[in-house]
Structure 1
């Protein structure tokens, strides 16, 4: 299936369910702008999965089975993606991606790619807070950080890495990349 084709599911038979799924998909990709080029959020959204389901009373959309999310330079792959919107609280959506592992890739405004993976990715729109857990790993060029949990406060551009008890966070910094930054 090509990325611009809509998967054929029973959900497309009911126009209200289809619209709700599209809204959820849009929310999902808007949330990933924390990682993206500024122009990425203006690009078309493409989500493919083996299955999707919508709980209209709980405001939850679940995508399962080789989920691929693409918008501009963003590429997220997971076994399962769940988008939740608290009732009557637009802008407070929570996006959770689960996988073995969840992977993501994006280009920053400076043209440098950022790659990462973990067992779970959680993004809270209201606070612009990203939480990558379970063998979390982030890489830019040859520099990387690895721990059990990596958090990122998007607006503040602050990242923290944590390890489980008895383990340590590992960071590899490539000197030539540090010098180019100064």
Structure 2
């Protein structure tokens, strides 16, 4: 793999890890495997790389499935990555033991602004933490701020209690 292709793959990894601050931290140090039906990549410092057809990315516990990944460079650095699909699916284990699952029609990662934008029936679920869904979810990796809504649609949030009481045992008919 060329140095430029390696940078493009790292951009995809950064995109995937952006979904949550609690993503499994050891995943960033794992080998990344990328499969797609086709690739069209320019190996210059400002060339695009487009992966199409059954794009499948695995790095540690991180799994991304998309129809297309479009990575853009500028001056030798990754500027943005756009994943599209029906839908794009992201799954990653968390350092706290849970698993983050996200789906959206499109996922845009802007490396310069450190933002990830999920659009089109976007859902991000973190068991034990809660979930957010809406037509548009914006995650700012610098500040940790998450915003939802957009296009006249509503946003739905679900918050899990921090200290869930264990379910009572009702098998024996005792309360």
TM-score range, shorter chain: 0.7 to 0.9
Structure 1 residue 168 corresponds to structure 2 residue 154: yes
Structure showing greater radius of gyration is: 2
Unaligned runs of 5+ in 1: 1-17
Q: Secondary structure at the match of 2:163?
A: helix
- 1:117-161, Cα deviation, whole Å (9 max, x unpaired): 011001112222110001111111273221100010112111111
How far is 1:56 from its partner?
Answer: 4.3
Q: Matched residues in 1 for 2:16 and 2:69: separation? A: 12
Q: Matched residues in 2 for 1:147 and 1:170: separation? A: 6
Which protein is richer in helix relative to its size?
A: 1
- Greater CA drift, 152-161 or 136-145: 136-145
Higher relative contact order (CA 8 A, sep 6+): 2
Q: Matched residues in 1 for 2:14 and 2:146: separation? A: 21
Aligned to 1:133: 119
Indicate which of 34, 45, 56 corresponds to 2:18. Answer: 34
Q: Matched residues in 2 for 1:89 and 1:127: separation? A: 17
Q: Matched residues in 1 for 2:18 and 2:92: separation? A: 10
Match runs of 1:83-98 below 5 Å: 83-86=71-74, 88=75, 90=77, 92-98=78-84
RMSD (Å), alpha carbons: 1.9
Aligned to 1:7: none
- Taking a change above 3 Å as real, the CA distance of residues 31 and 134 of structure 1, as seen in their structure-2 partners, is closer
Q: Matched residues in 1 for 2:7 and 2:141: separation? A: 23
Aligned to 1:116: 102
Aligned to 1:8: none
Taking structure 2 as the reference length, what is the TM-score of the superposition? 0.81
User: How many pairs does the alignment contain?
Assistant: 158
Taking structure 1 as the reference length, what is the TM-score of the superposition? 0.78
